[in-house]
Structure 1
Amino acid sequence: MTVWEALAVWAAGVAAGAINAVVGSGSLITFPTLVAVGVDPVVANVSNNIGLVPGSFAGAYGYRAELRGQRDRLVRLGMGSALGALIGGILLLYLDPDVFQVVVPVLIGLACVLVLVQPKLNAWLSARREHAHPHGGAALWLGVFGAGVYGGYFGAAQGVLLIGLIGAFLDDGLQRVNAAKNVLSLIVNATAAALFLVIAEVDWWAVLAVALGATLGGFLGAKIGRRIPAPVLRGVIVCVGIVAIIKLVYG
C-alpha cells in the first residue's frame, strides 16, 4: 500500500467512523476503498472490521450521556450481539460470499420501514400492552442476534438494522436508541475482530489506516449526531439505508 493509498483509506475511515456514530453503514465507504487499492475482498472485509473497532468505541463513548440507565438491557442484548457476531464471522470465512446477496438488501429495507413507522408502532404496541418489557423480550433479543450474525459476516448498514429493531421494540427516544446501537455495533465488531485475529488473514497496514481515521470520525460523528433532531435523524437513517440497498444490489 502506497502513501497515497493509505491516505485514501484513512480518509475513508474518517467518513466511516462519523457515519457509523450517527447511523451506521460506514463499511460501504471503507470496504470498497480497500478493494480499490488492491486488497483482496475477504482480507479487506476482515481488516476493515478490525480497523473499525476503535471508531465504534469512540462513537459509543461520545453517546455516554444517552447510555445512562441502559446497562441492564445492553448486557442482555449484548450477549445476543456477541453470539451472532461469532457465527457471522465463521460464515464469512467458510461460506460462499454470495449467500447473503439477496437477503441483505431485504433486511436493510425492512429496517428502514421500521425506522419510519417507529413512533406509530410504539404507540400501537403500548396501547395493546405488548410493549411493557423493558428489554424488548425474546423477539428483540433474537432480532439483535440476527443483526449480529449479519454484522459479523459483512456489517454494512448493521446500524440501520439495529436502530429499526431497537426503536420498534423499546419505548425510548431515538437518540437513546442510537446510543444503544453504537454499543451493540461495538460488541459485534469487537467480537468478530477477535475471531479474525485468531483464524483469518489480516492486512495490518489497512487496519492501521482505517483505525486511525475511524477513531477521529467516531468522535466527530458523535458530536454531530447528538445534536440532530429526531425527525431529521430518522430521515438520515432511511436515506443511508436506501443508498446501502442500491450499493449492495447494483455494486
Structure 2
Amino acid sequence: MIIDAGELALLLLAGVGAGLVGATAGLASLVSYPALLAAGMPPVVANMTNTVAMLGTTAGAAAGARPELTGQWRRLLPLCLITTAGGACGGLVLLLTPADAFTVVVPWLIGGASLVLMAGPRLRRLAEGTEGSEGTEGSERHGIGPGTGAAAFLVGVYGGYFGAAAGVLMLALLTTVWTQSLARTNAAKNIATGTANLVAAVVFSFTGRVLWPAALAVCLGSVVGSWLGSVLVRYLPATPLRIAIALGGLALAVALAREAFAG
C-alpha cells in the first residue's frame, strides 16, 4: 500500500492530536486509529501500525512530565513489569485469534472504566475509610498490591491487543488506588500503558504488516503532541479534566459498541 505526501502530512497532524489527547486523557487512539483507517488501511494493519506509532506518545509524555514522575519510579517499575507482561500476552492474542473476537467485550471495558474514573475519588475515600476502621495502611495506597497488579495485567493485555482507551482503564485503576494529584497519576499512567504498548509494538514489527511510513508520521507527530499535553495537564483543574476524560471514554465505548453490534 502506498501513502502519498498529502496523506503523510495529515497523519503527522493526526499524530500531534493523538499525542495531545493521549497525554492528557488516555484516548490517543481515538484520533490516530480512525486517521489510519481513513488512509485506507485494513483494521488489523491499522491497529498494528497504530501500536508502533504510539511509542512516540510514551516518549513525549515521559519528557514532558519529568517533574510529575519524580519519586514515582520505585512503584512504577513493578507496575511496568506487570503491564509489559500483559502487553506481550495481548499482542500474541491479536496474532492468534480472529480479528473481531474481542470487539464485543471492548466497549464494556471502556465504559466501565470511564464510570470508575468518574467515581474514582469517592471510591478511594471509601477504601481509605475501610482501611482506617481496620487500623491498617493498605498496600494499594502506596504501592502495587495484588488487586492492583492483577488489574494492571489485564489492562496490559487489553493494551497489547487493541489499545484504544487503555489509558482510561489504567487511569481509572490508579486514581482509585493511589492517593496523589491527577497530574502525577496521569504521568504514571502514560508510562505504564507505554510499556505494555512497547512489547506489543516489538511483536508486531516482525509480522510484516506494519505500514512503516504511516507509523513514522504518526509517531513523530505524537512526540510533539504528548510533550505539549504533559505540560498542559499540569495546569488544568483536576475534577473537570477527570470528568471530561470519563465522558470521552463513554463516547468511545458507545461508538465501538455500535460498530461491534452493527457488524
After TM superposition, the score normalised by the length of structure 1 is 0.95
Greater shift, 151-160 or 33-42, is seen at 33-42
Residues 91-147 of structure 1 deviation map (CA, whole Å, 9 limit, x = unaligned)? 111211222212111111111121121112111111111762121401001111000
- C-alpha displacement of 1:40: 2.4
- Per the alignment, residue 117 of structure 2 pairs with 115
Letter in 2 for 1:6: L
Cα separation, partners in 2 of 1:34 and 1:131, compared to 1, 3 Å: farther
Of 17, 20, 40, which residue of structure 1 is paired with 2:22?
20
Residues 61-120 of structure 1 deviation map (CA, whole Å, 9 limit, x = unaligned)? 211111122112111111110000001111111211222212111111111121121112
Cα separation, partners in 2 of 1:5 and 1:168, compared to 1, 3 Å: same
Letter in 2 for 1:203: L
1:190 and 2:198 correspond: yes
Of 111, 126, 134, which residue of structure 2 is paired with 1:124?
126
Do the aligned partners of 2:187 and 2:230 also contact (CA within 8 Å) in 1? no
Residues 170-228 of structure 1 deviation map (CA, whole Å, 9 limit, x = unaligned)? 22221111011011121111111111122342111111111111111111111211211
- Per the alignment, residue 182 of structure 2 pairs with 174
Secondary structure in structure 1 of the residue aligned to 2:51:
helix
Greater shift, 152-161 or 90-99, is seen at 90-99
- C-alpha displacement of 1:59: 1.0
After TM superposition, the score normalised by the length of structure 2 is 0.91
1:45-56 equivalences under 5 Å are 45-56=47-58
Of 228, 236, 246, which residue of structure 2 is paired with 1:220?
228
Residues 30-79 of structure 1 deviation map (CA, whole Å, 9 limit, x = unaligned)? 11211221122212111111111022211122111111221121111111
The answer for unaligned runs of 5 or more in structure 2 is none
Do the aligned partners of 2:79 and 2:144 also contact (CA within 8 Å) in 1? no
Cα separation, partners in 2 of 1:215 and 1:76, compared to 1, 3 Å: same
Distance in 1 between residues matched to 2:164 and 2:137, nearest whole Å: 29
1:78-227 equivalences under 5 Å are 78-129=80-131, 132-133=138-139, 134-227=142-235
Distance in 1 between residues matched to 2:232 and 2:39, nearest whole Å: 30
Cα separation, partners in 2 of 1:39 and 1:72, compared to 1, 3 Å: same
Do the aligned partners of 1:21 and 1:60 also contact (CA within 8 Å) in 2? no
Do the aligned partners of 2:82 and 2:149 also contact (CA within 8 Å) in 1? yes
Do the aligned partners of 1:136 and 1:170 also contact (CA within 8 Å) in 2? no
- C-alpha displacement of 1:247: 2.2
Do the aligned partners of 2:49 and 2:211 also contact (CA within 8 Å) in 1? yes
- Per the alignment, residue 74 of structure 1 pairs with 76
Secondary structure in structure 2 of the residue aligned to 1:199:
coil
Distance in 1 between residues matched to 2:122 and 2:234, nearest whole Å: 23
Distance in 2 between residues matched to 1:200 and 1:169, nearest whole Å: 40
Distance in 1 between residues matched to 2:24 and 2:30, nearest whole Å: 14
Secondary structure in structure 1 of the residue aligned to 2:54:
helix
Of 38, 41, 49, which residue of structure 1 is paired with 2:40?
38
Greater shift, 126-135 or 116-125, is seen at 126-135
Distance in 1 between residues matched to 2:50 and 2:121, nearest whole Å: 34
Letter in 1 for 2:213: W
CA RMSD of aligned residues (A): 1.4
Distance in 2 between residues matched to 1:135 and 1:17, nearest whole Å: 28
Letter in 1 for 2:38: A
Distance in 1 between residues matched to 2:110 and 2:28, nearest whole Å: 14
